[in-house]
Amino acid sequence: MLPRPRLLIVDDELLIRDLLYDFFKNRDYDIAVAENGQRALDQFAGGHFDTIILDLKMPDMDGLELAARIRATDQDVPIIIMTGYPSLDSAIEALRRRADDYFVKPFNLKQMSKAVEAALARTASKRPELSTGETRI
Amino acid sequence: MTPTRAPHVLVVDDEQFVRDLLQDYFTKMEFSVVTAADGQAGIDACRRERFDVALVDLKMPGKGGIEVLAEVREIDASLPVVVMTGYPTIDSSIEAIRRGAYDYIIKPFKLQELKELIDRAVKEQTLSREIEDLRQRLTHVESELRQYRSRSECRATVAAAPAPGALWHDITP
């Protein structure tokens, strides 16, 4: 059986964290949450994630800064940006940090779910299963 | 390492002035340049040859830049596509993110900056093609390893099987 996809949800707003947590929990995802950029980096350094959903405006660290720091260690992990304050500049910067998607709050949860699925499909196609019995490459 | 060579650049823009400007500039920089006056011509060029980077204008009659971006990335998923526009909007930049654009630049831009952007894109793309090549080789090695394992397991089973005499002994009262 395939392991459940691991999501990291980063937002300083409890309401959004809870909303996304409940929504994805019901869809059989394994979820970690972080309430700020530093906590997100700590979580990221301590484990593997299949997709990261992060807010742009957080008190300790800008979401774009967080995305850049994640990209410095991982070029491939899907990053989905969400923001209540969309701007052309932040969308272009998100693109340059190789974000997979950019959501403007409030957004449709089903569309977010589709974006996560698309992101997982993108990385799955790039990562062929390399294992034979106990041998994993 | 892949030897350095002149980047092969595709320019798709309906404005002749922009095509000429970029062609002249890149030729001076010793890049090799192909230009296309509309989206479909750009897509056709991508089917014909492999580029290192494509510059695509967003607003064109017929197929627009986002459509061209989506189609050329279907043809060559590793091709970095830079969207250029004189009419930037949040919506089109989000679409560019979703379609996997490499960059989104606003006209008028500095040619020197565009050159630096292309140099970076070509470098990254060369690396990503090398990684893809290594992945394929790894997959090949893995399949050989699997075959080898199944053959050696087969031999181990034969070796572990009891000798015919012993088997006879087991069932003899």
Say if residues B22 and B32 touch (Cβ distance below 8 Å).
Answer: no
Which A residues, 65 through 94, put their C-beta within 8 Å of a C-beta on chain B? 86-88, 91-92, 94
Whole-prediction pTM: 0.83
- pLDDT, one tens digit per residue, over A17-43 is 999 999 999 999 999 999 999 999 999
B56: pLDDT strictly greater than 80: yes
| Residue A50, in any domain of the structure | yes
What phi and psi, each to the nearest 5 degrees, are found at residue B82?
-100, 120
> If you search the block for the tokens 């996560």, which residue do you land on?
A116
Q: Compare CB distances from A130 to B96, B139, B149 and report the shortest one's residue.
A: B139
Listed in sequence order, the residues at least 6 apart from A88 whose beta carbon sits closer than 8 Å to its beta carbon are B88, B89, B90, B93
State whether B93 and A130 contact (CB < 8 Å).
no
Pick the CATH number of B8-129 from 3.40.50.2300, 3.30.300.130, 3.40.50.12280, 1.20.58.100: 3.40.50.2300
| Residue A131, in any domain of the structure | yes
* Whole-number pLDDT of residue A134: 47
For the record, the structure tokens of B143 come out as 């399949």
How far is B140 from B134, CA to CA, in rounded Å? 10
| Residue A1, in any domain of the structure | no
Residue A130 belongs to domain spanning: 6-136
Percent of chain A predicted with pLDDT > 90: 86
Least confident of B96-105, B130-139, B155-164: B155-164
* Whole-number pLDDT of residue B91: 97
| Residue A66, in any domain of the structure | yes
- pLDDT, one tens digit per residue, over A1-12 is 678 999 999 999
The C-alpha of A96 sits at a distance from chain B's nearest C-alpha, in angstroms, of 6
The CA-atom distances, in angstroms, between B41 and each of A118, B11, B13, B72 are 29, 10, 10, 11
Count the neighbouring beta carbons within 10 Å of the beta carbon of residue A122: 16
A100 vs B: CB within 8 A: yes
B50: pLDDT strictly greater than 90: yes
Overall average pLDDT of the A80-86 stretch = 98
pLDDT class of B165 with cuts at 50, 70, 90: low
* Whole-number pLDDT of residue B161: 67
A121: pLDDT strictly greater than 50: yes
Phi-psi region of A5 (alpha: psi -120 to 50; beta: other; left: phi over 0): beta
pLDDT class of B126 with cuts at 50, 70, 90: confident
- A51-55 and A30-34 as β-strands: parallel, antiparallel, unpaired? unpaired
Overall average pLDDT of the B108-127 stretch = 93
B3: pLDDT strictly greater than 60: no
A111 vs B: CB within 8 A: no
Say if residues B94 and A91 touch (Cβ distance below 8 Å).
Answer: yes
A136: pLDDT strictly greater than 90: no
Say if residues A58 and A83 touch (Cβ distance below 8 Å).
Answer: no
Instruction: Indicate which CATH number applies to the domain containing A71.
Output: 3.40.50.2300
State whether B93 and A100 contact (CB < 8 Å).
no
| Closest listed residue to residue B8, CA positions, set B52, B47, B55 | B52
Chain B nearest-CA residue for A103: B94
Overall average pLDDT of the A121-136 stretch = 62
| Closest listed residue to residue B10, CA positions, set B140, B99, B97, B121 | B121
Residues of B in contact with A76 (CB under 8 A): none
pLDDT class of A133 with cuts at 50, 70, 90: very low
Q: Where are the domains of chain B?
A: 8-129, 131-171
How far is B56 from B104, CA to CA, in rounded Å? 10
A127: pLDDT strictly greater than 80: no
Q: How many domains does chain A have?
A: 1
Question: For residue B88, how many C-alpha atoms fall within 13 Å in the half-sphere facing its CB?
Answer: 17
